[in-house]
Amino acid sequence: MQKLSTKIFLLSLVTVCSVLLISGPAMAGTQFVSIGTGGTGGIYYPYGGGVAEIWTKYVKDVKAVAEVTGASVENVKLAHKGETVIGEVMGDVAVAGFNGLSKFKGKKHDILSMAIMYPNLLQVVTLKKSGITDIEQIKGKKISSGSPGSGTNFMSETVFKALGIPLDSYNDSRLSFTETANALRDGTIDAGFWSVGPGTSSILDLATTHDIHIISFTPEQQKKIQAANEEYSAVDLAGGVYRGVDNSVPTIGVWNVMICQKSLNTDLVYNLVKALFEHQDYLLKIHPSASYTTAENAVKYSPIPLHPGTVKYLKEKGIEVPAGLMP
């Protein structure tokens, strides 16, 4: 009797779930859009929060939310699986995910580009008293190369391999940006890595209480790193961004890209992209790096093909989309 009751209950549950699945999309008036960002100590999270506010306010029947994640590598995986539908990702990671390379282990992920965000600069931070002035001096040291699943960790390890620094030659804590700054402050690590837009809060806060040094790269080192990944550029971190770092610092840069799930509806992506580009002024109030988030930069710097919704918007604005960026 108990078994029969259980079977009847389960059959009823399946029936209810089936009705909900069939009627759910038709009944739901609001579409929820989740944005995979990063930790709270970088720029991804506040930038993503600003994007979510724009979409919720200006795109009809959309409720968007920015979610704290492990950043780039994790965001590609989350978008592919549909756990989020939008992700903020470094360009090198987007290429690796799209093609199934490196940490994606031969599995091509179903992602496309929506928009270009802004360039990241690799910022390798130590305290002046550490005496570390060259990245190759991290051998035998305690470091944080960025949290697991982050673009910072991906970029750091690419740089180490390019420069012949064995991945087992240092002690790596793999901390978030905020944790990395705290570990430098406490003296539990010797060097921390950030791949982030200049003027990030965690480094700014650290520099107000401690004398920091940002390690520069030699031209030879920059060439080796660029040869290892064509998405990287030799750039300078401007002097005066952080207290005590008065001169420009030669380093490596990479563009950030907003990716989305390949299967997203064309009209939805069109409406999201339109709102993003046409309310850039709102995003600029959150961070000056948003000055790079333009329709023109989408075709200049996108490292992977664009979503049909983005292509639709760009063509409407008279912007030619290269064949290599067509989905």
Q: Answer with the residue of higher pLDDT: 304 or 10.
A: 304
Q: Is 238's pLDDT higher than 60?
A: yes
Please name which of 141, 139, 164 lies closest in space to residue 221, comparing C-alpha atoms: 164
Please name which of 141, 192, 190 lies closest in space to residue 39, comparing C-alpha atoms: 192
What's the Cα-to-Cα distance from 42 to each of 39, 73, 97, 181, 193, rounded to whole Å? 6, 15, 22, 11, 12
Instruction: Take residue 155 and report the two structure tokens written for it.
Output: 């970029």
pLDDT single digits (tens) 136-192: 999 999 999 999 999 999 999 999 999 999 999 999 999 999 999 999 999 999 999
- pTM of the predicted model as reported, rounded to 2 decimal places: 0.86
Give mean pLDDT, residues 207-211: 98
Which pLDDT does position 28 carry in this prediction? 53
Per domain, the residue ranges of the chain are 30-118+257-325, 120-254
DSSP label at residue 290: G
- The architecture (CATH level 2) of 30-118+257-325 comes to 3-Layer(aba) Sandwich (3.40)
CA distance 106 to 90: 19
Judge: domain 120-254, CATH 3.40.190.10. yes
What is the pLDDT of the chain when averaged over all its residues? 91
